Amino acid sequence: MSALRLFLITFLALLAVACSKVSMENYARLKTGQSYDEVVAILGNPTRCDEVLGVRSCLWGDDNRGIKVGFVGSAALTMSAVNLK
């Protein structure tokens, strides 16, 4: 891999992290009872969502640094953050 290509990949990865909406400031804006659409308006689209028996659990970021929100019906019920500053 050329040095220029490696630099560009690293630069784009850092740019993506810097533009991330996964932050402590945005986590503080989340409230119990918010709809999925309200949470997406704050955090953007989730990295992934899983649904079991009507409970949707969504992750923004990844398991090492991110925000998890659990929805029951259409309302946010649980929220947790990992390694946010």
Q: State yes or no: pLDDT of 22 exceeds 90.
A: yes
Establish if 5 belongs to a structural domain. no
| Model-wide pTM > 0.85 | no
Label residue 71 by pLDDT band (50, 70, 90).
very high
**Residue 6 in domain:** no
Range of weakest confidence among 5-9, 20-24, 53-57, 73-77: 5-9
SS3 20: coil
Evaluate whether residue 66 is within a structural domain. Answer: yes
Indicate whether 75 pLDDT > 50.
Answer: yes
Q: CATH number of the domain at 30, please.
A: 3.30.1450.10
71 in any annotated domain: yes
What's the structural domain count of the chain?
1
Query: Does residue 62 carry a pLDDT above 80?
Result: yes
The C-alpha atoms of residue 73 and residue 20 are separated, in whole angstroms, by 27
User: Is residue 1 in a domain?
Assistant: no
12 is a domain residue: no
Q: Is residue 60 part of a domain?
A: yes
Q: 2-19 pLDDT, tens per residue? A: 777 765 565 444 444 445
Can you give the residue range of the structural domain that contains 36?
21-82
